[in-house]
Chains A and B, each alone.
Chain A
Amino acid sequence: MSDVTDTSTPERPAQLPAQSPPVDPAETAAAEQRAGGRLSWWRGEGGEGARRNLWLIGVLVALIVIGVITRPDLYGDSSWVWSNILVILKLASVVGVVTVGMTFVIIGGGIDLSVGAIVALAGVWATTVATQSYGAGGMIFCALAVGLCVGLVNGVLISYGRLVPFIATLAMLVAARGLAAELSDKQTQVSDNATINGIASTNLFGIPLLVYILAAVVLAGWVLLNRTTFGRRTVAVGGNPEAARLAGIDVKRHTVLLYALSGLCCGIAAIMLTAQATSAQAAMANLYELDAIAAAIIGGTLLSGGRGTIIGSLLGVIIFSTITNLFAINGLTTEAQNMVKGGIIVAAVLVQQVQFRSLTQFLGRNRLTTN
């Protein structure tokens, strides 16, 4: 580093004392070049996220290998493999959309336990007889508006009412499910709208429309988080709220927007889920909050806020639906499946914390000494 001091300020007399042999400038320069150059995706900005995602892809590959080993008969058939991939993605689509919103909330330092309830409320509200009379557009608008509004209420309670996010959204969970039961009179409401129902059954170029919706939401979420001021504020607000506030960021307003965003995602998910079931009821989307939170955490989102990636969360959701699928094709029970899921959550977090750090250090050290 001595070269930095000396070369960058040539007008100052550089008097190195004899006792201080400078670090080999070439070595330092090369190291810096490497740090900032072609390896920057790996080491620099976003590098940590990229490494973690590689790890998740590894887990996914391992799950597929388990699938191949346990059901070689199925995996021998390439058309089955392709359709199974679509099954997994379709399975992931609804929770995936919810998880994108959840990821923003968690990066922003909060938590949203009410997502499943919001999906149910939006679904129920969109399928009441009155709403259905406005057609598909009316139903979609209703679901999105309900999601957004409930999210706003969450946000306002947390930001301006100073409730702890856990408590506020827990209360909302109970209240929204209650309202959904009230609205639907505890009945299953059948959707008669062919356009809505078609969302789940339509394929475009052989791929279900639901998967396109997931892709669009993920892409939008990625751009929002990584390329916009909104995303930058989210990281700041979650990483160090006091620093964000003192830098002039309106932390309260931003927090409201985060919960509103999560609610909006729930509105989208409500339409998707309603279309899949061609109906809605107060008990739908049960425990989606757990799936979404677990997927985000497995994807590397820090529960304390300030760090997380959309791609990681997406991989987390896909890993979960792959496990579900793995159990289904092997004819195992959901109970066993839930136990494995729990184990995976713990393992993923442990592995990321412990092994990854040492792996990174190992790689870093290796690079220094070999060059």
Chain B
Amino acid sequence: MTEREASPTGGSAEGGSVDAPLVEAPADAVAGEVVLRLTDVVKTFPGVRALDGVQLEVRAGEVHCLLGQNGAGKSTLIKVLSGVHRPDAGQVEWRGDPVTFANPQAAMRAGIATIYQELDLVEDLSVGENAFLGHEPRRFGFVRRGHMARRTRQILGRLGHAEIPPNRMVRALPAAGKQVVSMARALSHEARLIIMDEPSAVLAHDEVGNLFRIIRELTAQGIAVIYISHRLEEIREIGDRVTVLKDGRTTAANLPARDTPTRDLVNRMTGRTIEYVFPERPVAATTADADLLEVEGLTRAGEFADVSLRVRPGEIVGIAGLVGSGRSELLETIYGARRPEAGTVRMAGRALRPGSVGAAVRAGMGMAPEERKSQALLLGEPIYRNVTLATFARYARAGFTDTGRERAEADRVAESLELRPRDVRRPVRTLSGGNQQKVVVGRWLLGDTRLLLLDEPTRGVDVGARAELYQVIRTLAERGVGVLLVSSEVPEVLGLADRVLVMREGRVVREAPAGELDENTVLDLVMAGSLMEGAAA
């Protein structure tokens, strides 16, 4: 981190900003002026042309949305902007001058801050150290800890999360908390452009509102925001203009975010028309016999209390609730990854040994966990080995693995989930975020899973593949698999599940067939009683 490095625009001096107000608008920011222009940007990885001629124009004070399917090149594009990758060809113009950022520090100094899709926090550093990583306030070479903590507290307060202590280890935070920390990191710079790669994917409904409030404050100060999301309704709400990518190319630039018809957007993204609908529920839903899963009085102090639920074979049960309402913890406890303090879990009538994943898996459970990178994937390993991580022993003969069979099975899964690129020998690391998510879910489509626990299964998955995934889940259910689904997206729970449980603060507050609930009812139930200052936005 040498101070003077290739940063043609010079950037802003760091030392002086320390005592400045939180996000200070650069004095010369003129709303409407073009700050960033990309022309014919190309970036290739071995065997993949991730960017193949991208055009993009971003103005000061606007929220510019990037749309595109999984693997379209959105994350690669922002990594080119933030100095992680260097483009092979094409031009990046930043405030009128052509630039190439040698590294992320150079981009930050020039005023581009980025919140990456895959959280890039150092788990064993504190919240404050993460927020100011690489540009810690110093005096005489010593980090000014007190000062840093104060600044962090300020930024967190502004983000609506004053409750996060700046000296807490990041490891101890839940996913949404980590997201807040990466946002704090972006705000700790004096930025003219803030790039957000799927920031809402890990956020609950009310937190998204909070995020939008912050974005509006930023843009009001003339700061430009590039916003990536697969949720069209968010883009309509916060976006000004939209650029659509497909297969690494710009297929449409600067569409008005509010008025462009959804059909049009989806068509330019996918090259086809997709109806964003949920597969039909079987009419005589689950007349089924015995319960597959019976959970009785499950309790873990501080996480959830006295939860009882049932899943019949072929039934999809959805759990709605805020992040932090204990949903993920409940799922992990049912799966044996956490040990309950009270209560029992029974599969097909037999009690499972508490706190044993092995027992749960042997009884036919499978779980797609919430955080793909830390909980589910071996990033350096090939796709097929990730897909068969839970089943490779079944295909093995006398302890010897059968990679041919594994690849064939993984191919089948890749096909049904539209994985791209389809070559299952590639390392998972080289897949786009959404495609990695498909690998996580795909793992349990193999073997004889009888009960599938899905924690945010469509996080980061694009519109088209999402419909595909819903269909796959429904087909599984029709074959008699029970599904327990957790999702922050209420429409997803209502659309896919047969029966819905609503959780609030660790308790089930309502249980009803999905047909008897609507989005507003669920949201009211979910929020009621909790103090949600941000929810007003």
Contacts and interface: CB of A to CB of B under 8 A. Distances in A.
A236 B379 CA distance: 10
A246 B425 contact: no
Contacts of A228: 396, 399-401
A150 B252 CA distance: 66
10 contacts: A14-B271, A14-B272, A19-B252, A20-B271, A22-B271, A35-B426, A247-B443, A248-B361, A248-B362, A364-B46
Number of chain A interface residues as a range: 35 or more
Interface residues of B, number: 57
Interface of B: 44-49, 52, 71, 88, 246-249, 251-252, 267-268, 270-273, 335, 337, 357-358, 360-362, 367, 369, 374-382, 385, 389-390, 392-393, 396, 399-401, 415, 418, 420-423, 425-426, 443
Nearest to B332: A246
Interface string A14-52: 111101111100000001101110001001110000000
Nearest to B44: A368
A239 B46 contact: no
B272 A1 contact: no
Contacts of B267: 15, 17
Contacts of A246: 335, 337, 357, 367, 369, 375-376
Contact of A1 (B247, B268, B376): B247
Contacts, number: 155
B128 to A, nearest CB: 25
B247 A232 contact: no
Contacts of A242: 374-375
B378 A243 contact: yes
Interface in A44-82: 44-45
B49 to A, nearest CB: 7
Nearest to B337: A246
Contacts of B382: 44-45
Nearest to B367: A246
B396 A44 contact: no
Given A1-B247, A20-B268, A368 B49 contact: yes
A302 to B, nearest CB: 9
A229 B392 contact: yes
A353 interface: no
Contacts of A35: 46-47, 423, 425-426
B389 A247 contact: yes
Nearest to B415: A8
Contacts of B377: 240, 243
Q: Top 5 A-B pairs ranked by shortest CB distance?
A: A364-B46, A248-B361, A247-B390, A239-B378, A20-B251
Contact of B390 (A248, A364, A365): A248
B375 A17 contact: no
A21 B53 CA distance: 11
A186 interface: no
A43 B425 CA distance: 10
Nearest to A23: B247
A44 B322 CA distance: 42
Given A35-B423, A306-B380, A2 B247 contact: yes
A361 interface: yes
Contacts of B337: 245-246
A250 B361 CA distance: 11
B376 A243 contact: yes
A20 B249 contact: yes
Contacts of A365: 44, 46, 88
A137 to B, nearest CB: 27
A15 B358 CA distance: 47
B272 A45 contact: no
Contacts of A15: 267, 271-273
Nearest to A366: B46
Given A5-B271, A361-B46, A239 B381 contact: yes
A45 B376 CA distance: 20
Contacts of B272: 5, 12-15
Contacts of B378: 235-236, 239-240, 243, 306
